A and B are shown apart, each in its own frame.
Chain A
Amino acid sequence: MSRDTALVSADWAEKNLGTPGIVFVEVDEDTTAYDGGHIPGAIKLDWKTDLQDPVRRDFVNQEQFSKLLSERGIGNDDTVILYGGNNNWFAAYAYWYFKLYGHEQVKLIDGGRKKWELDARPYSKDAVQRPATQYQAKAPDLSIRAFRDEVVEAIGVKNLVDVRSPDEFAGRLLAPAHLPQEQSQRGGHIPTAISVPWSKAANEDGTFKSDEDLAKVYGDAGLDGSKDTIAYCRIGERSSHTWFVLKELLGQENVKNYDGSWTEYGSLIGVPIALGDEPGKA
Chain B
Amino acid sequence: MTTPSNIADGCAAPDQSAPLPAGVDLQKETVITGIVKNAEGEAVGGAYVRLLDATGEFTAEVVTSPEGVFRFFAAPGSWTLRALSRHGNGDLTVDANRGVNEVGLSVVAA
Q: What is A's interface to B at a CB cutoff of 8 Å?
A: 28-30, 32-33, 47-48, 85-87, 89-90, 114, 117-120, 165-167, 172-173, 175-184, 197, 199, 204-205, 233-235, 237-238
Contact = CB atoms under 8 A, between A and B. Distances in A.
Given A119-B86, A167-B53, A177-B60, 7 more contacts: A29-B12, A86-B61, A179-B14, A182-B25, A235-B11, A237-B10, A237-B11
A56 B51 CA distance: 34
5 contacts: A86-B12, A117-B86, A180-B73, A182-B24, A182-B28
Contacts of A235: 9-11
Contacts of B84: 114, 118, 204-205
Contacts of A86: 11-13, 61
A177 B73 contact: yes
Contacts, number: 110
A117 B11 contact: no
B75 A167 contact: yes
B7 A180 contact: yes
A28 B13 CA distance: 10
B51 A177 contact: yes
Contacts of B59: 165, 167, 176-177
B10 A177 contact: no
Nearest to A87: B61
Interface string B71-85: 111110000001011
A166 B12 contact: no
A165 B15 contact: no
Nearest to A180: B73
